[in-house]
Amino acid sequence: MDLTGVSGFLAMKRIFDGSINSDAGHRLYARIIRQARPYWLHLVGLFLLSTLASPISLLVPLPLKIAVDSAIANHPVPPFLAALLPASAVSSSTAILLLAVALLIVVNLLSQLQDFFTSFLGPIREKSWS
């Protein structure tokens, strides 16, 4: 079946609108699943890596918040950090700024690693038997 141009669009529209019998739709999905079966590890890896993208991107403003609020404006350190840090570091602006810089480096490193592994797993190559 040629799926290029207007005729291809109409054929795909018939498949997904249900105007083609449901047995053909089930055969289409079964064929897609059969063709994707050798790549299930890649697909699971890409799914897991893409689920990490949102939490990592939500961590990006955290170091700036800590630096501005706790080091410059003298607000208390967030409770989850206060539990991890020694008492002397919680009261020191320099230690809080160093913590913010370290968190910035860690968050950026995590983001870069996530991008690297996503691009590494992204292109699924055909198996070469030659």
Residue among 39, 44, 40, 45 nearest 124 (CA): 39
Helix, strand, coil tally for the chain in percent (to 5): 80, 0, 20
Report pLDDT for 4: 52
pLDDT-derived band at 101 (thresholds 50, 70, 90) equals very high
Contacts 24+ apart (CB under 8 A), 60-69: 60/107, 60/111, 62/103, 62/107, 63/100, 63/101, 63/103, 63/104, 63/107, 64/100, 64/104, 66/96, 66/99, 66/100, 66/103, 67/96, 67/97, 67/100
Q: Which of 29-33, 71-75, 85-89, 120-124 has the lowest mean pLDDT?
A: 120-124
Report pLDDT for 71: 87
- The 8-class DSSP code of residue 124 comes to P
The overall pTM is greater than 0.95: no
Residue among 42, 37, 35, 6 nearest 119 (CA): 42
The single-letter code of the amino acid at 73 is A
- pLDDT reading at 74 higher than 50: yes
Share of the chain above pLDDT 70, in %: 77
Which carries the bigger pLDDT value, residue 35 or residue 10?
35
